[in-house]
Structure 1
Amino acid sequence: MLQRTYIVPSTLSCWQFQQSVVLENLRNTGKDLKLGGDARCSSPGHTAKYGSYTLMDVETSKVIDLQLVQSNEVKNSYNMELEGLKRSLRFLEEEGVSVSDLVTDRHSQVKKFMKTECPSINHWFDVWHVAKGVYKKLEALGKTKKYALVGQWARSISNHVYWCAASSDGEEELVRQKWTSITNHIANIHDGHGDKFERCQHGDLERNWFKPGSKALGEVEKIVHNKLLLKDIGKLSPGEQTSSLESFHNIVNFFAPKSTHYFYNQMKARLCLAAMHFNVNSSRSQAVKDGKGQYRVSFPKSRKGDPVAKEVKVKQNFCYIQELMDEVVIRREMFSTYDQAKRALQQELDPAPPSISGQKRDVIQDYNRDIVIQNMCRRFNCYVRNEDSGIR
């Protein structure tokens, strides 16, 4: 009761104030925003109850908007991402914020929406998502003894995606020719790639090359020349990426674990709390000791045990907690009784979507309870003797 009455509305109020400050600072720059957008579901798979969509300013790594969508507000769980993006863009338009670029993953509905409904916004694809997909396919192929050489090249080919995007300045055909040149390169052929990218730019290399015309090379070509991939590869973001958004989703997992269910307003408050924490700490500098930047070594699963160096940041800032506590105290003093706070809450908070389980009960037709019990199925009904028919 205390959480629902005082803590949740206080959290939402603090986030709305901080959000207004962030938006005002961005408006004062006079620049069109370059944003990164991505969705996060409340549970793995396509049966999630909640889907949250986040828009982040990729230049400052500040969360500027959060939208929470419940699955029964749209056709199904798959549509929650598009609905969240629509609400966020509508909110920014109402706030008078202009957007020039948007970086997302390759969600098919988002691609169509941005092309047809928002042609004035440059829509880019995040390189990490594309490179990860390519690497997974090559790695799976390379696990077989017959195509072991593919596994040796998998990391290099996926890294090639980053170089294609970063070195082409958004020129679609140049990105595409640089990408497809990899099938020549791995066969030790380093020229004749295309009119915009005629030859490789590296020096002499000693590698274990593919044999031209081999089956292994043919399998790699199927992945590299995939029609959908070639269509999207030219829209890779040349600069801004959504890596900070992935970091924010890790923070959300701390405040709202996927293993725990939350009611709508509680879930929304936890997302806002995660956004406040992230915005305060997103620009932390590297820790320094004895005049040297500090690093730590980790062994991420994605690297198959290979060590990776990461910067050690200065300690986190929790200044927003005092603001939250002050807001809770103010609310408690304003509404001394639970009934007063409840009435104020109904006016302040947007109405939550109808309960999924309650909505299902509403559409159930009248039924005969005795018939339902009579038709009850058991796992081993087929092995129970039927006295009337004599059948087991």
Structure 2
Amino acid sequence: MENILHKGVHLSGDGRNDSPGFSAKYCTYSLMDDSTNLVVHYELVQVSVYRSVNSLLEKGIEIEVMTTDRSPSIRKIMRVDYPQIHHEFDIWHVVKGIPEKHCQFATKKQNIDLQPWIKSICNHLWYACASCSGDPEKWKSLLRHMQRRKRWLLKESPAFHTLSSLVLHPNLLKDMRQMAAFKHTVLLKYCRKNLHFHYSSMTARTQLAVMDHNENANHQQATTSSARYNVVFPKQKKEWLARKIYEPTTQTFREELLQKVQERRSDPTVLFKDPTSHVSLPVLPRNIATKPKPGKEAVIAKHVSRFTK
């Protein structure tokens, strides 16, 4: 934390819910320093509770750029509460939605010619966001590239019109000027999504995940006489790919943590029955409902009335 107490820090944020689907109870939101790849702050909140980045600002950290997904609620928070912070969008979240949108249209008979180009379109979006410095013209040049040869899409074809509507979508072109990339993987090692944990357990597991990530944030690719790769066939990509093999991760933070626990346990000045020596937990709502729970009879009557009308 001390290393980022300088002017104009750039942070990338990403959130992860504790369970798949719409039944999530907790959300873990992490902020990473772009210059060091270290997680500098996290918030573990119940999904019905809102917290802000005030805790970082109160520590004297001046945030110049914040990179998040394109969530409308986050946009509003950044626009209303933190207008002094430049807000950018994570490319990964945008590119992730492109195949879904294109596949939705490409499955139609008149757009079948669009199907082979979905991967190339995603690659071009990555390239455009990384090199255009907010200028959407390089992204729009995709439409010109698709017309250069007869085996590509014809300008008069329905597939090309569909592609044009997606490439030239006003919201996407507007957000291109705020595109900036972030992953949330180590947390799965400590907090599996198919298991429910109490808030105190979620807090401890998230802290372990942060320490694990920070210790191995910049570990290098393994080498012998040359850089090492592994050839894999992901079911989602449906083709053979080369992936880097990295040096094994280290876990020295565990030994350091255990040593500090033993030192604290041996400290006679620490009274374990004293509440001040315990981790303070926030007061959370009993559930994530946004409305008071009605009486059981009223809910049953409403349910029955739907089928008696």
* TM tier relative to shorter chain: 0.7 to 0.9
Distance 1:335 1:154 in 2: 65
Q: Residue type matched to 2:43 in 1?
A: Q
RMSD: 3.0
Matched, 1:228 2:171: yes
Partner Cα distance (2:12, 2:58) in 1: 19
In 1, distance between residues paired with 2:12 and 2:113?
A: 36
Could you tell me whether the CA contact under 8 Å between 1:68 and 1:268 is conserved in 2?
A: yes
Kindly indicate whether residue 282 of structure 2 is the aligned counterpart of residue 352 of structure 1: yes
In the alignment, structure 1 residue 343 sits paired with structure 2 residue 307: no
TM alignment of 1:79-90, pairs within 5 A:
83-84=50-51, 86=52, 89-90=53-54
Secondary structure at the counterpart of residue 60 of structure 1: coil
- Contact 1:187 1:209 (8 Å CA) reproduced: yes
Greater helix fraction, Structure 1 or Structure 2: 1
2:31 alignment counterpart: 55
In structure 2, give the amino acid aligned to 1:228.
N
Q: CA deviation at 1:271?
A: 0.3
Kept in 2, the 8 Å contact 1:335–1:341? The answer is: no
Amino acid at match of 2:11: L
Q: Call closer, same or farther: CA 1:366–1:219 in 2, change over 3 Å.
A: closer
* Native 8 Å contact 2:90 2:179 kept in 1: yes
Question: TM-score w.r.t. structure 2 length?
Answer: 0.87
Specify the alignment match of 2:229 in structure 1.
295
3-state SS of paired residue (1:309): strand
Match for 2:215 among 257, 264, 280?
280
Query: Cα distance 1:138–1:354, how it changes in 2: closer, same or farther (>3 A)?
Result: closer
Identify the residue that residue 156 of structure 2 maps to in structure 1: 213
Corresponding residue for 1:38? 14
Residue 140 of structure 2 corresponds to 180
The amino acid that maps onto 1:60 is T
Work out which of the residue numbers 266, 270, 282 in structure 1 matches 2:205. Answer: 270
Post-superposition CA distance 1:324-358 (Å, at most 9, x none): 21122233334799xx52434x554223333525x
Aligned to 1:327: 260
Shift of residue 366 of structure 1? 7.9
Structure 2: runs of 5+ lacking an equivalent: none
Q: Deviations over 1:204-225 (max 9, x none)?
A: xx56222222211111122122
Aligned to 1:18: none
Alignment of 1:150-165 (within 5 A): 150-165=114-129
Match of 1:313 in 2: 246
Please state whether the residue corresponding to 2:185 is helix, strand or coil: helix
Q: Could you tell me how far apart the structure 1 residues matched to 2:116 and 2:293 are?
A: 57
Alignment partner for residue 3 of structure 2, among 3, 14, 25? 25
Inter-CA distance 121–211: structure 2 relative to 1 (3 Å threshold):
same
Contact 2:272 2:278 survives alignment (8 Å) = no
TM-score relative to the length of structure 1: 0.70
Cα deviation for residue 104 of structure 1 reads: 1.2
Q: Distance in 2 between matches of 1:168 and 1:181?
A: 12
CA contact (8 A) 1:295 1:310 kept: yes
Q: Is the 8 A contact 1:63 1:275 kept in 2?
A: yes
> Which one-letter code corresponds to 1:266 in the other structure?
S
TM-fit CA distance, 1:308: 1.8
Write the deviation string for residues 152-199 of structure 1: whole angstroms up to 9, x where unpaired.
1111112111222222223xxxx22222232233123xxxxxxxxxxx
Residues 212-257 of structure 1: CA deviation (Å, up to 9, x unaligned): 22211111122122222222122212xxx22xxx1xx221111010
- Which has the higher mean CA deviation after the structures are superposed, 325-334 or 276-285? 325-334
* CA contact 1:264–1:352 (8 Å) conserved in 2: no
Residues 355, 155 of structure 1: CA spacing in aligned structure 2 closer, same or farther, 3 A cutoff? same
State the partner residue of 2:84: 120
Equivalent in the alignment of 2:190? 255
Report how far residue 120 of structure 1 moved: 2.2
CA distance in 1 between counterparts of 2:119 and 2:43 reads 36
Higher-Rg structure is 1
Q: Give yes or no for contact 2:128–2:138 (8 Å, CA) kept in 1.
A: yes
How far off is 1:263 after superposition?
Answer: 1.0
Instruction: Report the number of matched residues.
Output: 304
Alignment identity in percent? 30
